[in-house]
Structure 1
Amino acid sequence: MPLYEYRCDDCGVVFEARQKFSDEPLDTCRHCGGRAKKLISKTAFALKGGGWYQQGYSSEKKAAASSGNSSTASSSDTCASCPKAVNG
């Protein structure tokens, strides 16, 4: 569950609340009972290192796959019973 930050308008205290995405935002301060507002904070999420990009999305992987031996059939190698390709 996400951790949200709130600030009280009355006492100025900043506090955290662990809530579900579907939960309504808190509107009262846990410390004084005043009006609280949800803060927008920076996240600690970062993608570092080689990991996901090089393994799944790197152009080097695509280049290596396309430079390999490909066995494409030429027009003279088509079978007579296969349907003809329609250029559209």
Structure 2
Amino acid sequence: MPVYEYKCDNCDSRFEVLQRISDPPLTDCPECEGALRKVLHPVGISFKGSGFYSTDYKSSSARPSANGESAPSENGASEKKSSEKAASKD
């Protein structure tokens, strides 16, 4: 059974409760009867073992930029392609 953390919006108290996934979430603070909400935490992922390599994933320079074009690579291949397109339009 998972452990859920709750925080009171009224008194800022925090506590953990062991609940089933199918149980309804708690709504009232046991200290002040204020409204409760679940606190979500990020999950840490660790890739260990011989099957994971740094070359398995795209580099950050290959991600598309905000305008939808891919970022230029280190060897200038994107610059060469764009200059060739400009020359062919003339």
Q: Structure 1 length as normaliser, TM-score?
A: 0.49
Bigger radius of gyration: 1
Q: Structure 2 length as normaliser, TM-score?
A: 0.48
